[in-house]
């Protein structure tokens, strides 16, 4: 009824126009009648009443014939015009209604996208919209099957679906043949009216009885995330606008997927930072317990011993006080070293090279190791944030060498190789089996060399460790100046 009410004003307008046309026909017919009468009079002349009646009869017959033919032709033409006009307006109105529905669907999906980071909710909304479009195209809603596939490794797994059997939910497919491969290779929507012949999709019970399958790739640029596969139980013709609408919905879905992946990475990074902070706290507590805490306890015991010596042996008490003074100085130096590791102010004020030299000087004083820095000027190529990370990596590598390498010489060398900043920490110590240590670290946690790699990744860098038993160790850090340079 709503459709008839919307079209009836158009029909009324056409009918009014036809009535005006008929009025003009009558007027023209009268004029033609008069003209015919005049023509017959001039041609035949009138000599009697019989001739006059004959003239009038001939004129009337000619007039009625011409008028009948004209009215018939105009009526038929009017009916055809009215029918074509109504059909045109009906078609345009249907297109406008479909466009309005698609616009509302996109708006609703964008609203869902803004209101949630749940990828599952977005893809479910997308499948609902796809089913509506297929139904409007003439497909039965009960025969609709929809699956969202995502790549996990080399295979596609269904992560959301409509009317998919449990046995199909457990399946996986490589996407290397048939309609899936076609959609991925051309990076555009692919359609098939013979799904039973598809080597991969025909394995799914849901698509065996489908008459039409549409595969819409989920992609961003050249990266393929997966595909949406739609199946219906009737062969329907999809218009170019509907296909474009499918692509638009897929684009919104990809945005939701990227947002979900970004949020997942941020959550993982947040947890990693929390774990790193907890590990740093544990390491600091361990260092304080094994270092200053033990020394302070020893100082307290010596002071208690000295207090008993003052009344009995003053010279011995002075000697013991000297020992306590040395212990206190050593403890103060150790605490200053820990504070320097926590926040190296010299790095902020004098730069990377000066901070590395300070670390080396402290290690030389405590352990007597021979250490040197080569190419310190290249440290200024890095941004301040990158210098902080490089300092932490070099300091940890030097600490590992001091504790484990038994080296006589440790060298830190900064160089520039094309658009890369390269740091090499090399010692002539005892070396170790890199593979064995990596296996050990993978089972024990994220400290040591794994910690070095994680820090390098923060500045888009990479770490390589080369070592052989009896041949020393080389730790190589590579940082791209394109993203981390000044």
Q: What is the pLDDT of residue 472?
A: 92
Which pairs with CB-CB distance under 8 Å and at least 24 residues apart come from 349-353?
A: 351/379, 351/380, 351/387, 352/376, 352/379, 352/380, 352/382, 352/387, 352/390, 352/391, 353/377, 353/379, 353/380, 353/414
Tell me whether the CATH fold assigned to 114-258 matches the one assigned to 345-486.
no
Cα angle for residues 426, 385, 459 (degrees, 5° grid) = 65
- Tell me the domain boundaries of the chain: 2-108, 114-258, 345-486
Q: In the beta sheet, which residues pair with residue 277?
A: none
> Model-level pTM?
0.51
Q: What is the pLDDT of residue 390?
A: 93
CATH 3.30.565.10 fits 345-486, yes or no: yes
Q: What is the pLDDT of residue 382?
A: 94
- CB within 8 A of 7, min separation 6: which ones? 86, 89, 90, 93
Q: Three-state secondary structure along the chain?
A: CHHHHHHHHHHHHHHHHHHHHHHHHHHHHHHHHHHHHHHHHHHHCCCCHHHHHHHHHHHHHHHHHHHHHHHHHHHHHHHHHHHHHHHHHHHHHHHHHHHHHHHHHHHHHHHHHHHCCCHHHHHHHHHHHHHHHHHHCCCCHHHCEEEEEEEECCEEEEEEEECCCHHHHCCCECCCCHHHHHHHHHCCCEEECCHHHCCCHHHCHHHHCCCEEEEEEEEECCEEEEEEEEEECCCCCCCHHHHHHHHHHHHHHHHHHHHHHHHHHHHHHHHHHHHHHHHHHHHHHHHHHHHHHHHHHHHHHHHHHHHHHCCCCHHHHHHHHHHHHHHHHHHHHHHHHHHHHHCCHHHHHHCHHHHHHHHHHHHHHHHCCEEEEECHHHHHHECHHHHHHHHHHHHHHHHHHHHHCCCCEEEEEEEEECCEEEEEEEECCCCCCHHHHHHHHHHHCCCCHHHHHHHHHHCCCEEEEEEECCCEEEEEEEEEHHHHEC
pLDDT string in tens for the chain (486-residue length): 444 444 455 556 666 666 666 667 667 766 766 676 666 566 655 555 566 566 666 666 766 776 677 667 666 766 676 676 666 666 655 555 655 565 565 566 556 555 556 677 778 888 888 888 888 888 887 888 899 999 988 899 998 888 888 888 888 999 999 999 999 999 899 999 988 889 999 889 888 888 999 999 998 888 899 999 999 988 888 888 888 888 888 888 888 888 878 888 888 777 877 776 777 677 777 777 777 888 888 888 888 888 888 888 888 888 888 888 888 888 887 787 777 666 677 888 899 999 999 989 888 888 888 999 999 999 999 998 899 899 989 988 998 898 888 899 999 999 999 999 999 999 999 998 887 766 655 444 435 677 788 889 889 999 999 998 988 999 999 999 999 998
- Homologous superfamily (CATH) of 114-258 is GAF domain (3.30.450.40)
């Amino acid at each position: 009824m709503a459709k008839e009410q919307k079209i009836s004003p158009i029909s009324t307008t056409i009918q009014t126009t036809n009535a005006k046309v008929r009025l003009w026909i009558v007027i023209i017919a009268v004029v033609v009648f008069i003209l015919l009468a005049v023509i017959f009079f001039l041609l035949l002349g009138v000599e009697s009443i019989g001739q006059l009646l004959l003239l009038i009869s001939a004129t009337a017959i000619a007039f009625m014939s011409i008028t009948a033919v004209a009215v018939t032709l105009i009526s038929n033409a009017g009916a055809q015009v009215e029918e074509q006009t109504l059909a045109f307006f009906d078609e345009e109105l249907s297109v406008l209604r479909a466009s309005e529905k698609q616009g509302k669907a996109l708006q609703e999906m964008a609203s869902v996208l803004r209101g949630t980071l749940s990828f599952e909710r977005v893809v479910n909304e997308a499948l609902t919209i796809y089913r509506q479009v297929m139904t409007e195209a003439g497909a039965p809603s009960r025969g609709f099957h929809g699956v969202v596939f995502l790549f996990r490794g080399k295979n596609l797994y269904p992560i959301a679906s409509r009317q998919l059997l449990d046995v199909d939910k457990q399946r996986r497919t490589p996407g290397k043949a048939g309609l899936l491969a076609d959609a991925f290779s051309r990076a555009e929507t692919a359609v098939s009216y013979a799904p039973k012949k598809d080597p991969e999709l025909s394995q799914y019970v849901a698509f065996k009885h489908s008459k039409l399958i549409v595969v819409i790739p989920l992609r961003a640029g050249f990266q393929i995330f997966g595909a949406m596969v739609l199946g219906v139980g009737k062969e329907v013709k999809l218009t170019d606008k509907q296909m474009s609408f499918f692509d638009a919905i897929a684009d919104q879905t990809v945005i939701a997927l990227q947002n979900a992946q970004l949020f997942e990475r941020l959550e993982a990074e947040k947890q990693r930072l929390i774990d790193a902070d907890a590990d740093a706290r544990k390491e600091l507590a361990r260092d304080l317990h094994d270092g200053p805490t033990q020394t302070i306890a020893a100082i307290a015991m010596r002071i208690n011993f000295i207090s008993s010596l003052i009344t009995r042996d003053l010279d011995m008490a002075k000697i013991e006080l000297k020992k306590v003074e040395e212990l206190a100085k050593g403890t103060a130096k150790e605490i200053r070293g820990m504070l320097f590791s926590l926040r190296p102010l010299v790095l902020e004020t004098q730069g990377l090279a000066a901070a590395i030299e300070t670390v080396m000087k402290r290690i030389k004083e405590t352990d007597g190791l021979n250490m040197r820095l080569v190419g310190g000027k290249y440290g200024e190529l890095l941004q301040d944030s990158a210098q902080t990370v490089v300092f932490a990596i070099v300091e940890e590598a030097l600490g590992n060498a001091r504790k484990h390498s038994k080296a006589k010489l440790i060298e830190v060398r900064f160089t520039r190789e094309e658009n890369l900043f390269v740091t090499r920490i090399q010692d002539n110590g005892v070396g170790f089996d890199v593979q064995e240590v990596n296996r050990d670290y993978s089972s024990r946690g994220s400290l040591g060399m794994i910690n070095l790699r994680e820090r390098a990744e923060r500045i888009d860098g990479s770490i390589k460790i080369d070592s052989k038993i009896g041949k020393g160790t080389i730790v190589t850090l590579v940082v791209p100046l394109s993203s981390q340079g000044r």
